[in-house]
Amino acid sequence: MNAEPKTNITLKKRIVWLFIVVFLVQTVIVGRYAYVQIIWSPQLQKWAVEQWTNDIRISARRGDILDRNGNPLAVSGNVERVDAFLKDINDKEKSKKITKEEIAEKLSPILNMTKENILSKLNKKMSNGAPVACVTIARRIEKEQGNRVRALKLPGIIVSEDTKRYYPNGNFLSQVLGSTNVDGDGRSGIELQYNNDLKGVPGRYMGETDAYHRELPYKIANYYPPKNGNDVVLTIDQYLQYYTEKALERGLVEYKAKQVSAIIMDPKTGDILAMASKPDFDPNNPVKGSVNESVKLWKNRTVNYNFEPGSILKVITAAAAINENLVRDSDKFACNGSYKVADRIIHCWRRQGHGIQTFPQILQNSCNVGFMILGERIGKDRLYKYYNAFGFGKKTNIDLPGEEKGIIRPIEKVGKVELATEAFGQGISVTSIQFLTAFAAVANNGKIMETHILKKKLKTDENGNTSVVKEIQPKVVKQVISEQSAKKLREILESVVTYGAAKKAYIQGYHIGGKTGTAQVVENGRYAQGKYISSFAAMAPSKDPKFVIILSIDEPDPSNYYSGSTAAPLAKTLFEDIFRYWNMQPDTGEIANQNIVQEVIIPEVRGLSVDEAGLILKKNKIDYEVQGNGNIIYDMSPKPGISINENTKITLYLGVEKNTSAMVAVPDFKGMTKKEINDIANSLELNIVFMGDGIGATQDVPPKSVVKKGSTVKIILEQPED
């Protein structure tokens, strides 16, 4: 009687639990269905689309970089790339239709890559150990290579468009142009500075494909064309750049220097016409040797490097004194070789002193004592006012990456000693572009211009029509000194080249104004022994300058490191090229009309044939006549070692044997470097004994004295005026 009700209760419980289980199962199924259809659906659709479509990124053509006259400096060529879709490759490998080794073996000879390198890419894993979806096998391959890869019809291997950067002139202007990385983005120089303008906007191609990712011909593809980058036109003049680099390469070798650099600027516009440093690199192959060594060569020393300017800074001290009416040409400065400032004795470069000098003479002679006295007149407040006005201690904001801003002391830390040394060029650091920008203000009647290397940006539409996107106009930053002060200073700077420390830059008939400077290299806050930077800042024509230039030689041979003997003559060769290029004719102005004639030393040619002697004399710009009979030069008049004007005619006397008792004249060695003295003395078979350091000052055997070969001449050297 009681068993039946219990059975019914148990059955009902089982039915309830069954309904609960069924309900839960249905709920899970419906929930899962809802999750798949609603939540997971977009991802599933994306995966499905990826399985039957190609979605390829199409690189935009990178804009060209051109010089101011439209000459190409950096261009982009149409090439191709090879990518691998690893899911397709793995599926085919599982079905044993093809292996990764077989794919790598077929691609290797076409792509000029090792089989192992390709296999490492095909086996690439994510950090969690799962295979990656897609890898790039090779970029920037030629179209012929791409067509050969297509012909293989390998599963998962896709060939698409790519671009490659070419620098048609190799290392020409390399540190200004910079280079691009593997993705085509700029990593230094103009390529980095204007990367967003140059690179454009990538396009996309989307189309349905078969299992091998080959496009299905009956399906409609979506194509979004890339927007090509803008062309960038620089202020650089390709020909001036060539002459600059040619001069720097010569200076690097001739002076055994660590680095040589130069900038040419239009002072009226702020346009950079040439900018270079040597050694440099080839942007077509930017990494050579170690990465660290390569990165050092990428740096543009004229912008990215601070150095102590030395005596070229005296131009700014002089500008401040002239503009503040603190000095007149007739003012006298007494230099006995040193000057006491506070409790310290500071020496002039010329230990025996310059004596009594006028204001123009202290700049011509680069007298440290004269400029210490001038610094006291100006005072630190006024001097720092001009430092700030000329832009020292802050960036010029030239449109190149990595610009340094120079180093100047906080004015509150400038005492009497610091003021004295800064007045003649020690204790302050500048960049080449910073100093040239300031120097250009003197050339531009006191107006400092905004320096720039971009001239304009160009856009080319799909029809090939070119339009200007942006064009840079000259911009005056400020008037730092008056027009009258600038004119006065230019006159003095011209006398420095004609009569003073920079006379080895003088070219007869041309107005050139400039200032030399030789400064010790600062390492770890101290002056490095035996390491110097020789600099020369100049303008031409000095009455109305068309260009300004700064040339620096970093760590030249210690036997000849003075700026007047290195940077000045190197700049002269560059001036000559510039004058010819611009067809600038000689000017018969007041200073240029002093008829300063170049002198040459008669070389030893006795014992040579007439033809051999003639070649040597012609090279030295010496005319000659021949007298007597014989087949060799027996004697000559004047004697070897005598200084004569260029194109002077000398007499060669012929004989049949060598003159064993030939005498030579002792040259005037004053102003020559050790190397120059030794070279001439060796050619004349004279022995030299040096005393002191620097350039020739006095000699114990007077110039033009006729002596026997093998005679000894003692020469006292002294440091030159820079």
Residues annotated as catalytic are 311
Query: By C-alpha distance, which of 67, 60, 62, 259 is closest to 177?
Result: 67
CA 367/CA 352 separation, integer angstroms: 12
CA angle, 50 as apex, 46 and 54 as ends, to 5°? 135
Q: What is the dihedral of CA 696, 701, 702, 707, to 10 degrees?
A: -120
**C-alpha pair distances (Å), 621 with each of 603, 654, 696:** 11, 21, 24
Helix (H, G, I), strand (E, B) or coil at 589: coil
| Tokens standing for residue 262 | 């130069």
Write the DSSP string, 34-62: HIIIIISHHHHHHHHHHHHEEEEEEPPPP
Q: Are 512 and 579 in contact (CB under 8 A)?
A: no
Cβ neighbours of residue 400 under 8 Å, at least 6 residues apart?
Answer: 176, 189, 190, 193, 300, 303, 453
* Bridge partners, 535 (sequence order): 517, 552
For residue 72, the surrounding DSSP H or E stretch is strand 72-85
What CA–CA distance (Å, rounded) separates 481 from 464?
48
| 36 DSSP assignment | I
Residue 674 · residue 717 · CB < 8 Å: yes
Q: Is residue 649 within 8 Å of residue 624, measured between CB atoms? A: yes
Pairing assessment for the beta strands 712-718 and 687-692 based on DSSP bridges: parallel
> Per this entry, what is the length of the chain?
722
| Cβ atoms of residues 58 and 201 within 8 Å | no
Residue 317's region, left for phi above 0, alpha for psi from -120 to 50, else beta, is alpha
Q: Which two tokens stand for residue 364?
A: 């011509």
Residue (of 550, 517, 546) closest to 260 by Cα position:
550
C-alpha to C-alpha distance for 543 and 267, rounded to whole angstroms? 13
- For residue 703 the two structure tokens come to 């110039």
Distance CA 495, CA 309 (A): 21
Neighbours of 392 (CB within 10 A): 24
* Residue 678: Cβ-neighbour burial (10 angstroms; 0-12, 13-18, 19+): middle
**How far apart (Å, rounded) are the C-alpha atoms in residues 135 and 699?**
76
Distance CA 514, CA 537 (A): 5
Structure tokens at 539: 């303008």
- Give the span between the Cα atoms of 619 and 687, in whole angstroms: 25
